[in-house]
Amino acid sequence: MAERPSGSLTSRHFRSEMVPLPQRPADAVLLRNIFVSVAPGARAAMQGPTHRPQLLPGEVIPSSVVAEVVAAPPGGPEPGSIVGGAAGWQEYSVVPTSDIWPLERIGELSQHLGLLGRNGLTAYFGVREVAQLRAGETVVVSGAAGGVGHLAGQLARIAGARVVGITGSDEKNEVLRRRLGYPAVVNRRSPSFADDLRAACPADVDVYFDTVGGLILESVLPLLARHGRVVCCGVTAQYDLDRPPPAPAGLALQLIAKSLRMQGFLVADYLPEWGAAQRELYALQRSGELTALEEIRDGLDSAPGALIEMMAGGNIGQFTVRLAPDPAGWPS
Ligand SMILES: NC(=O)c1ccc[n+]([C@@H]2O[C@H](COP(=O)([O-])OP(=O)(O)OC[C@H]3O[C@@H](n4cnc5c(N)ncnc54)[C@H](OP(=O)(O)O)[C@@H]3O)[C@@H](O)[C@H]2O)c1
């Protein structure tokens, strides 16, 4: 990060540097990154503290990575093995061994940052654990064409829900309808958004899978059914703001009056269950029930532009940046 942004991201907020490899502390691993993710969480960290400390100018943009282990402490992963990790937009990273995890040897390697990585797992645990979804319920998903959202909506559909997707463009909504089987879609940028949303939800909304917060959360709250649930996954709408927006008006009374539940979660809360979830997500993809969308860009220098585009709503599915070719022998 070259400087802390205020408002929308631009290329001047980023800088790329060639530096010597840092010394590896005794309890750390040296990784050669193969894929790095592009995610709004990086923008959030540039703004202020989240589940990680605020990023300072000169620090590396944080990201999930898929990487080859180059060197590790005795008893650690074998050099040459492929792992997932919390690292950053770097060709090589030195991270504590506690920040890497083994990968299930399934799927395309890049999918370990999408369907089989944080996004797929966030969708999975948000829908399966936090939403407590029942067949026949109405589920609204915001950011519904995004990395998490396009999978969350499909998982809700597979669980028997009627899914209503919210995105920022008619083109994305067409993809949701045609390729992902969403029965109803709404464009958040339309002047008639509130009416369109109400019309798309003739029955009350049982679950709101919220990836954006802000005004969309405020619009969905009054539509919730008694005992409705809000799955607080992300607040992309506030990541560009210097101060978080005020909470929706009358929030507490809305929660009380309809016995609503609003619950935040982090995908890391479910770490011990990741393996089983990855195998299930992969099986759903193989059976054709679940479609995972990803776009891969090449080279570290493409990462800032991809994040700028994502924050402006330009992505459909996951954006991933490839830094090195897939290693030989990875199953697909
Ligand atoms: N809880 C967890 O453990 C966890 C894990 C992973 C991600 N997350 C969070 O989940 C959210 C989605 O992540 P993702 O990687 O899947 O990103 P994404 O949804 O693929 O990309 C962000 C999308 O947000 C929408 N957006 C941007 N600015 C907006 C605004 N002002 N108001 C409303 N929508 C706006 C845009 O879509 P449209 O223009 O189509 O609306 C954009 O494409 C993020 O907030 C992320 O931090 C949480």
What local confidence, expressed as pLDDT, does residue 29 receive? Answer: 98
What local confidence, expressed as pLDDT, does residue 6 receive? Answer: 93
Q: Identify the CA nearest to 290 among candidates 131, 171, 124.
A: 124
List Cα–Cα distances, 221 to 5, 94, 247, in angstroms.
Answer: 30, 44, 12
Q: Identify the CA nearest to 65 among candidates 44, 43, 42.
A: 42
Query: What is the residue with the minimal CA distance to atom 5 of ligand 1?
Result: 122
pLDDT band at 328 (very low <50, low <70, confident <90, very high): confident
Q: Flag whether pLDDT at 234 surpasses 80.
A: yes
Q: Is 330 exposed, middle or buried (0-12, 13-18, 19+ CB in 10 A)?
A: middle
Q: Flag whether pLDDT at 332 surpasses 70.
A: no
CA distance 146 to 233: 12
CA distance 55 to 284: 37
Q: Flag whether pLDDT at 134 surpasses 70.
A: yes
Output the CA 305–ligand 1 centroid distance in Å: 16
In this structure, CATH architecture of domain 11-113+293-322: Alpha-Beta Complex (3.90)
188 Cβ inside 6 Å of ligand 1: yes
219 Cβ inside 6 Å of ligand 1: no
Query: What is the residue with the minimal CA distance to atom 21 of ligand 1?
Result: 146
Class of domain 119-268: alpha beta
Residue pair 102/83 in contact (Cβ under 8 Å)? The answer is yes
Let me know if the fold of 11-113+293-322 is the same as that of 119-268.
no
Query: Which atom of ligand 1 lies nearest, measured to the CA of 38?
Result: 15
Domain-by-domain residue ranges, the chain?
11-113+293-322, 119-268
Q: Is 16 exposed, middle or buried (0-12, 13-18, 19+ CB in 10 A)?
A: exposed
**Residue 294 per-residue DSSP state:** E
